[in-house]
Amino acid sequence: MPLTSPLALTMGEPAGIGAEISVGAWTALRQDGPVFFYVGDPALLGDAPWREIADPAGAAAVFPAAIPVLPLPLAATAIPGRLDPRNAPAVIAAIERAVALARSGAASAVVTNPIQKSVLTATGFAYPGHTEFLAALAPGEGPPVMLLAAAGLRAVPVTIHQSLKSAIDDLTSEKIVAVARATAAGLARDFGIAAPRLALCGLNPHAGEAGTMGLEDRDIIAPAIAQLRAAGIDARGPFPADTLFTPHARAGYDVALGMYHDQALIPVKTLDMAGGVNVTLNLGVVRTSPDHGTALDIAGQGRADAGSLVAALRLAAELAAHRLERKPA
């Protein structure tokens, strides 16, 4: 089903590579789309052609010739590589505006350029990152889930931004079940996978080797899988993480659930660092982002690769179309 409105792209950290990759994405997509508009300060776009639009409805007519922009001026001139807390409110406002437009239907989805969380936190931002802020702005039917997608692999971490020790301490059957349920629902709603197959990583080497290398796989992960299967979800495992990401293994599931951050993200980034996409499942809006950070060290040097943002925009359009198809008439 064709989209009825364009995608909203936020500017992200003004001192990072967000504007540069936004220009690169427009250059790559200007002929065939998907159409997007930029929410941010047009001064960041440099010499690229841009045109102010009054509302998202005007983006499609502008897109082939210029970047459509809903202007949101910065408080201070952005200098590549140099963080400035004075611009934090505008970064936050861009996200809020994009989400509001998506919730109203004026935008089909939100695609976020990378933010510098330390700068936002220093100015009183109350959320650990994008995901938590977006969940507050556009709550969905379940807990938000971070999914990383690359060529031939989708992966979800059960625990996210915490130390490895605390992640292991926090791992429970209840947490695994909640994340797995939310993942299955999100894949059905946004990816169009009616009965997703979930493969769960073991926590310990060899998935615990029957308890000889740790008890968590036997006592925490296996009971969670049994509970999921009893609820009709196709969950399998726990599988040794060192063999779960081979080409042969990946053919047998739709998503892998890692027990901690790096267990899920390392395979995705190894397979396709330039084309990986971060998706937040179970929001009230479709949201994707590039699978990388602000890259302050190369900002303003013309070296940034727009590939991940291009992939994020294309996937956002695909997910929004799936969600539109499932929307009641």
What's the confidence (pLDDT) of residue 275? 83
What's the confidence (pLDDT) of residue 329? 47
Residue 79, in any domain of the structure = yes
> Is residue 158 domain-shared with residue 128, that is, in the same domain?
no
154 in a known ligand binding site: no
Domain end, chosen from 139, 164, 182, is at 139
| Domain span holding position 130 | 1-139
Helix H or strand E encompassing 39: strand 36-40
159 in a known ligand binding site: no
> Is residue 106 domain-shared with residue 177, that is, in the same domain?
no
Residue 107, in any domain of the structure = yes
* C-alpha–C-alpha distance, residues 14 and 316, integer Å: 22
Tokens 């196709």 found at: 234
> Is residue 125 domain-shared with residue 151, that is, in the same domain?
no
181 in a known ligand binding site: no
> Is residue 127 domain-shared with residue 33, that is, in the same domain?
yes
Number of domains in the chain: 2
248 in a known ligand binding site: no
172 in a known ligand binding site: no
What are the mean pLDDT values of the chain's consecutive 10-residue runs (329 residues total)?
86 96 97 96 96 96 97 95 94 96 96 92 84 90 88 92 90 96 92 94 90 90 97 97 95 97 92 88 94 89 92 95 72
Contact 91, 120 (CB under 8 A): yes
What's the confidence (pLDDT) of residue 1? 53
Q: Which CATH number characterizes residue 102's domain?
A: 3.40.718.10
What's the confidence (pLDDT) of residue 128? 76
What's the confidence (pLDDT) of residue 2? 66
87 in a known ligand binding site: no
Residue 213, in any domain of the structure = yes
Distances in Å between the Cα of 97 and the Cα atoms of 36, 43, 57, 265 are 14, 18, 15, 29
What's the confidence (pLDDT) of residue 129? 77
> Is residue 118 domain-shared with residue 231, that is, in the same domain?
no
206 in a known ligand binding site: yes
Tokens 């330390």 found at: 118
What's the confidence (pLDDT) of residue 259? 96
Distances in Å between the Cα of 29 and the Cα atoms of 19, 198, 307 are 15, 33, 11
* C-alpha–C-alpha distance, residues 49 and 98, integer Å: 21
